[in-house]
Structure 1
Amino acid sequence: MSGDLKSEIAPPPLLETRNLTRILPAVVPVTLVEDISMSVGAAEFVAITGPSGSGKSSLLYLLGLLDRPTSGEVLIGGRKTHDLSKSDHAQLRLEKIGFVFQFHFLLPEFTALENVMIPMQKLGALSASNQKDRAAGLLEALGLADFLHRRPAQLSGGQRQRVAVARALANAPDLILADEPTGSLDSAATEQVFASLQTIVEEQQTTVVAVTHDMDIAGRMQRRIHLVDGKIDYDRDQ
């Protein structure tokens, strides 16, 4: 009986917050995020939307362990993170989370291939040859097979952002967090990057949580969490 019950226990959510609050200390404290409780499972494609100043990016930074909450907590795969050290946070990010930002932040002196290899080099789980093979495979899957050895300045905006997506996938994370990943792109490049993220969810079963102002993009994602004044206004499937 105990074995049967154990097998029926659902795994913890991939990502969970409990009463998450972030307040900037000041003469007049500023509340960025207030009392947010939510969970995100495997292979979800989630948009975080809301007006400017509603706390979207602040929430994403808390989810990605790039900032610490004033109160409440973030759990990754059921693991509490609030009391972890900076080095443990960094290791957890390296193993479990990939990031894509509005601006690609590729290192200009390195090729696309070398940029994608950087997270793998930091983690150190693969040999140099396997790192190179994986980086090339990720870039090829994103339509960049002919651009492996080009530096960022030799790529278009959409191509640079797809390199950033490949870099986010380097260590096979369970979760990709994207902050306005199409915000600086034209419509054609936006479609390319959106299609890349959608493919990641559908084919690799990787969860993507993306902050976006683009309501067309948000409307095509599976779920929307809408913030107003740092609080969840609604959270619904689409």
Structure 2
Amino acid sequence: MTQGAILIEAKGVTRILPGIVPVTLVQDIDLKIAAQEFVAITGPSGSGKSSLLYLLGLLDMPTEGEVLIRGHATAQMSETERAQTRLADLGFVFQFHFLLPEFSALNNVMLPMRALGRLSPRQMRTRAAELLAAFGLADHMHKRPDQMSGGQRQRVAVARALANDPPLVLADEPTGSLDSVSSEQVFQLLRDLVDKNGKTVVAVTHNLDFAARMDRRVHLIDGRIVQDRAAAPPPGGTRERQKTG
């Protein structure tokens, strides 16, 4: 594990869907993820990858155990407190971008900032424009999602995830619906978030090539972690990291 402050921790986390026949999504998960890690969550379909990500992101709550964000226990938080934690500390990128179709790219990126309420309208607009420009979308910020390519829409989604400058980005199959060129572009964006911007990125992926290029791989089978190992460094040694905050 990369040395640094622990940003997120799962302690004995189990999630069981109730019913006539209860379904266990994940079981007895212990996991620590530190600052500036690039972590792949892998496993076969139905292994609990996305379920674990949603638990880490406070989009679902464990049946047993606890998720801590920056050392703060979340189980006893009110829903309002959890929502504020999601807005301030977590950014989300999904396989299908979930941009609001009636809004421009600029307004989609501004949505988390409006929800958090820390910036003025002018500051929100400026930050959203800067994020889109950084991802090569300066000429597309006033377009609606249906006027952009799949790769462009996913770059907007990454910009939206960074709107409130969270330390941790959680991505669920962020390249799963893209062609190979767009997939590589989005992967490099996530790689740069870690190497150049000091973010932590945790991504569920079926792409084993991408997983091998990430810093750490957590592999699940039947809802349990069966392997947690660092990836091999690239030729020439350890990746150089430039932390810029």
Same fold (TM over 0.5): yes
1: distance between equivalents of 2:5 and 2:94?
A: 27
> 2:89 corresponds to which residue?
96
Give the residue type in structure 2 aligned to 1:99.
F
> 2:189 corresponds to which residue?
196
- Name the SS for the 2:66 alignment partner: strand
Give the residue type in structure 2 aligned to 1:180.
E
The one of 68, 79, 96 equivalent to 1:75 is 68
The one of 59, 63, 66 equivalent to 2:56 is 63
> 2:113 corresponds to which residue?
120
2: distance between equivalents of 1:148 and 1:123?
A: 21
> 2:228 corresponds to which residue?
235
Give the residue type in structure 2 aligned to 1:165.
V
Q: What does residue range 151-170 of structure 1 map to in structure 2 within 5 Å?
A: 151-170=144-163
> 2:177 corresponds to which residue?
184
CA displacement, residues 121-165 of structure 1 (integer Å, 9 cap, x when unaligned): 111111111111110111111111111111101100000000000
Q: Name stretches of at least 5 consecutive residues in structure 1 with no aligned partner.
A: 1-9
Q: Name stretches of at least 5 consecutive residues in structure 2 with no aligned partner.
A: 232-245
- Name the SS for the 1:236 alignment partner: strand
> 1:149 corresponds to which residue?
142
Residue 12 of structure 1: how far off its partner (Å): 5.0
Give the residue type in structure 2 aligned to 1:46.
V
Equivalent pair of 2:4/2:35 in contact (CA under 8 Å): no
Q: How many residue pairs get matched? A: 229
Q: Percent identity?
A: 64
Instruction: Name the structure where helix makes up a greater proportion of residues.
Output: 1
2: distance between equivalents of 1:17 and 1:229?
A: 17
Equivalent pair of 2:110/2:163 in contact (CA under 8 Å): yes
The one of 181, 185, 208 equivalent to 1:215 is 208
- Name the SS for the 1:72 alignment partner: strand
Give the residue type in structure 2 aligned to 1:185.
L
1: distance between equivalents of 2:187 and 2:138?
A: 19
Equivalent pair of 2:4/2:34 in contact (CA under 8 Å): no
> 1:7 corresponds to which residue?
none
- Name the SS for the 2:190 alignment partner: helix
Which shifted more, 45-54 or 138-147?
138-147
Please report the RMSD computed on the Cα atoms of aligned residues, expressed in angstroms.
1.1
Structure 2 length-normalised TM: 0.92
Task: Say whether 1:109 aligns with 2:102.
Answer: yes
Structure 1 length-normalised TM: 0.94
Give the residue type in structure 2 aligned to 1:203.
K
> 2:45 corresponds to which residue?
52
Equivalent pair of 1:12/1:78 in contact (CA under 8 Å): no
